[in-house]
Amino acid sequence: MSGTLVVWRHPRAAGAVGRCIGRTDLPVPRRQAKRLARRIQQVARRRRLPKIVVTSSLRRSADVGRWLARWGWRHVVDPALSELDFGDWDGRPWSAIPVAELDAWCRDFLHYRPGNGESVAELMTRMAAWSAHGARVAVGHGGWLSAARWRLEHGPAEPDCRHWPAAPRHGSSLLLPTPPA
């Protein structure tokens, strides 16, 4: 598929259920990382994509790239693919985050900085400026993929919390047009 970038969401991280996870560097079970790497390899072979993968620096993404590197792929680590930085919220149970703070985020979804971390506007800017480094395969995170999906489906329209796309399933992919070189 010429002009297409396949961006995968990392496998489910150990210890993430019920927690606000952004930059918290949780591990992924080895078997899950290897399984996703095999799926990526099969898709890349079928589509005749170059053996280059870009991942974030977080283990749940980078471990998949490390498996591909063992099998002869070039692995590029780029922190710009990272999840939204939730600041002080990061790693905490969602139930421990005050409802008033969640409501404030929803009221100003684009500019509010959850936990004094990164705003959705900053995530959108980071996602839009991202370079694929010549790769046609990437492994990223739910928030980054949701931002990419929003841009793909809504163009420059400003997102709001009621219409923000849900994060894709762990291990699933999103096809994005690659920008002209």
User: How many angstroms separate the CA atoms of 164 and 63, rounded?
Assistant: 28
Reported as a single tens digit per residue, the pLDDT across 94-124 is 999 999 999 999 999 999 999 999 999 999 9
pLDDT in tens, 25-48: 999 999 999 999 999 999 999 999
Q: Is the pLDDT of residue 1 over 50?
A: no
In the sheet that holds 52-55, the strands lie side by side as 74-77, 52-55, 137-140, 4-9, 173-177
What secondary structure does DSSP assign to 59-127, as a single string?
Answer: HHHHHHHHHHHHTT-EEEE-GGGPPP--GGGTTSBGGGS-HHHHHHHHHTTTT--GGGS--HHHHHHHH
Domains along the chain with CATH numbers: 4-177 (3.40.50.1240)
Q: What is the pLDDT of residues 61-70, one digit of tens each?
A: 999 999 999 9
